[in-house]
Amino acid sequence: MTKHREYPTGLKQAAVARLAAGESGVRPSMGSVGDAYDNAMCESFFATLECELLARRRFTSQAEARMAVFSYIEGWYNPARRHSGIGYLSPIAYETQMLNEPETT
């Protein structure tokens, strides 16, 4: 499984970024070049995904890989996996806790 999409050679980096963003409907990042914190959360997630799922399996089809990633995110990462950045709670437990806290004004 490749991490990056293949584009024709000769396209400049900015053109590739605009093309990729337009295809997926995602707005490009507004961070500056070399900003270490710009994509830190996303990079951390994908490193975890690769380490905990992708590096341990071989997929026979793209559909199988998509289902495995979906199952990992919806069946483990969001409901059960504890995250240090949110007090070692799962994202769902953290959201529930935040929703149940009384509002302070």
3-state SS, 83-101, equals EHHHCCECHHHHHHHHHHC
Contact 89, 82 (CB under 8 A): yes
Residue type, 69: V
The number of beta carbons lying within 10 Å of the beta carbon of residue 50 is 13
pLDDT in tens, 20-66: 666 666 665 556 666 666 677 788 888 999 999 988 889 999 999 99
95 or 17: which leads in pLDDT: 95
Q: Is the Cβ–Cβ distance between 94 and 86 less than 8 Å? A: yes
- 62: its two tokens: 């793209």
pTM: predicted TM-score of the whole model, two decimal places = 0.56
Which is nearest to 92 in space by CA: 77, 72, 71, 102? 77
List the Cα angle 28/31/33 in 5-degree steps.
105
Mean per-residue pLDDT over the chain, rounded: 77
